[in-house]
Amino acid sequence: MDYKASTGERITGLKKEARRLRVEAEKLRNVWGMEPCSSERDSESERLMEEIEDLQPRVRLENLSVYQVMKVKDTAEREKKTYKYLYASWWEGSRSRMGLDL
């Protein structure tokens, strides 16, 4: 997943580091006597994944765009009435999402 915000870039770096630690822990498990080092790498990887989960809501807020849209509608008396709506859009992966009427 690509992020455009600074927190998103931090998440990407943390994911790479956690992945590297998991691979390193797996290699250490295969070496006799290195189990303590392996479990240390696993616990550090888990700590990084928890930090990533804590940062997810923050990156969503950084990528959120809120804007106002005005719509003009005809009434039964052949008059025009203007309505104002608030829209919000954000990115989820490579797709843009939109919510309306906040």
Token representation of residue 46: 């888990």
Residue pLDDT, tens place only, 32-43? 888 888 899 999
For residue 1, being part of any structural domain is answered with no
Same domain? 55 vs 93: no
Residue pLDDT, tens place only, 64-75? 888 898 999 998
For residue 10, being part of any structural domain is answered with yes
Distance CA 11, CA 75 (A): 50
Which residue range forms the structural domain that includes residue 87?
A: 65-100
Residue pLDDT, tens place only, 3-32? 556 888 889 999 999 999 999 999 888 888
Same domain? 35 vs 73: no
Token representation of residue 72: 């003009």
Distance CA 48, CA 96 (A): 27
The reported pTM is 0.59
